[in-house]
Amino acid sequence: MKKIIQLVLFLLLITIAFLFYKTYFSENKENVKILDEDQDQVSVETQNNLIKNLRYDVRLDENKQYIITAESSELSYEDDVEVVKMQKVIGIFVDETNIPITITSDYAIYNNSTYDTNFYENVKVEYIDNIILSDKLDLNFDKNIVTIYDNVLYEGFQGTIKADNVIINLITKNIEIYMNNKTNKVEVVTKQ
């Protein structure tokens, strides 16, 4: 019985993927315009591949998952790699502890082959009772690091920290906090 349910679910997934491909990625013959009466020059009207409420659900391995959603997105291809420009973005990274790291921003650029994501403008990171605000955040799965930079403000239950850069290792959970100019100091304000 379990095998039959799995087979039905698999066939349903294949059907949905086929319909999605046909809807969003197949060529539309109506977009071809003839520019010259001699029909020597043919131009394809460039229509952006805009998608509302896009969601990617990526299983990185057995214990890690990355989910990214956007209110609106534009698909494009750079060097045969699908790149998605997103607006009003929410990214959720869950590791083996099942405690999510939630990243929100106004904009993001998502690489569909490496899953790397560059969040920018009004970036907010939430992890348990900790909040990090910044202008930019780069999520790099090849190196397993999160780089948070430009106007970083950390707010936790023990106080606040102002810095230029925060680097978090996703495997070891080690955090490196530093300033761009070594003469400047990281500002730490503790709660009393």
67 band by pLDDT with thresholds 50, 70 and 90: very high
- Amino acid, res. 60: L
The pLDDT score that the predictor gives to residue 145 is 93
Structural domains for the chain: 49-190 (2.60.450.10)
The pLDDT score that the predictor gives to residue 8 is 74
The pLDDT score that the predictor gives to residue 1 is 81
Q: Does the global pTM surpass 0.85?
A: no
Closest CA relative to residue 54, chosen from 77, 24, 31, 29: 24
pLDDT in tens, 107-150: 999 999 999 999 999 999 998 888 999 999 999 988 989 999 99
Q: Round the average pLDDT of the chain to a whole number and report it.
A: 83
The predicted model gives 150-168 an average pLDDT of 91
What residues contact residue 135 under an 8 Å CB cut-off, 6+ apart? 120, 121, 123, 149, 150, 151
The pLDDT score that the predictor gives to residue 116 is 94
What the block records as the tokens of 19 is 């319909």
pLDDT at 176 over 80: yes
Dihedral angle sign, alpha carbons of residues 165, 171, 173, 174: negative
CA Rg value for the chain: 22
pLDDT in tens, 68-91: 999 999 998 888 889 999 999 999
What residues contact residue 170 under an 8 Å CB cut-off, 6+ apart? 93, 95, 144, 145, 146
The pLDDT score that the predictor gives to residue 38 is 39
pLDDT in tens, 15-38: 777 676 677 665 544 443 433 443
Q: How many CA atoms lie within 13 A of 115 on its CB side?
A: 21
